[in-house]
Amino acid sequence: RLFHQYHKTFAPLDFSDYEAIGRCDQEVPEYFNFASDVLDKWSQIEKERKGPSNPALWWINGKGDEIKWSFEELGFLSQKVANVLSGPCSLQRGDRVLVILPRIPEWWLLNVACMRTGVAIIPGTTQLTAQDICYRLLASKAKCIITTDVLAPVVDSVASKCQLLKTKLIVSESSRAEWLNFSDLL
């Protein structure tokens, strides 16, 4: 199906590769990390090309403000966020973090940073109630929650019931007592 007049002809998929994986004939890596095995490889390709590249992330809000990050920028920023998670947030491989954010650029950075560090991300919609948040924190045994200043008071109302919750990280321009500020740490 043609979407525009300057289409490229692509080779058909080789389904024998998929069958080989099913038969365990094709080598599958023992460890795979999307951030380092894919994102960092694209970043390296981008550096070697030394020319204009397509953005890895292109985000536009309702007002028309936009953010464009190359693969190199996305990789670098996700490494900084990974340092925040493993440093001030004290998260280690296998720990769980509940992330309740709208789809802002920080949401994508946190996703990649969690992949990088081996931290299990539990995404949540911004429509969660206090009871929903408390249930998810208790059921998941999350050690950290990350949200905006809109939901921070809701989290504070249930945090005392969640003994395993050690760190609260807020994505906001303002500070809040007992919360680490994402922007300040980054």
Domain definitions of the chain by residue range: 34-181
pLDDT at 4: 43
**Which two structure tokens, joined as six digits, stand for 128?**
């969660």
Q: Tell me if 57 sits within 8 A of 46, measured CB to CB.
A: no
pLDDT at 11: 46
pTM: 0.79
pLDDT at 8: 45
Where do the H-state alpha helices sit in the chain?
15-22, 34, 40-49, 71-86, 105-117, 130-140, 152-158, 182-185
pLDDT at 152: 95
Backbone φ/ψ region at 24: left (φ over 0), alpha (ψ -120 to 50), beta: left
pLDDT at 43: 85
pLDDT at 9: 44
pLDDT at 3: 42
Cα gap 177→179, rounded to integer Å: 5
Which residues in the chain show pLDDT less than 70? 1-29, 50-52
pLDDT at 23: 64
Q: Report the CATH number of the 34-181 domain.
A: 3.40.50.980
